[in-house]
Amino acid sequence: MNGQSSDKYKLARQLGLLTTIPMILGAAPLVGYFLGHWIDGWLHTDPWFTYVFLGFGLVAGVRETILILRKASQG
């Protein structure tokens, strides 16, 4: 592969990685919220597990975003 083709591949890969960030930041808290809400309904502990799992989802989304940014910057 020549240099120009390799640069285009690297740019496309980085763009693909970076476009997943908004989806991850939106999906992780939603999954945590709905899982916590379901557990609250099952155990009748409303709203404790909803808040806990929403927090877990937020942390997981931020953590995954940091990992994606590191991977994209390595190139």
Place of tokens 């557990």: 39
| Cα–Cα dist 35/33, whole Å | 6
pLDDT tens, position by position, 13-68: 899 999 999 999 999 999 999 999 999 999 999 999 999 999 999 999 999 999 99
Q: What's the pTM?
A: 0.83
Give the closest residue to 20 by CA, choosing from 69, 56, 57.
69
| Cα–Cα dist 22/62, whole Å | 11
- Domain residue ranges in the chain: 20-74
Output the CA torsion sign for 30, 31, 34, 40. Answer: negative
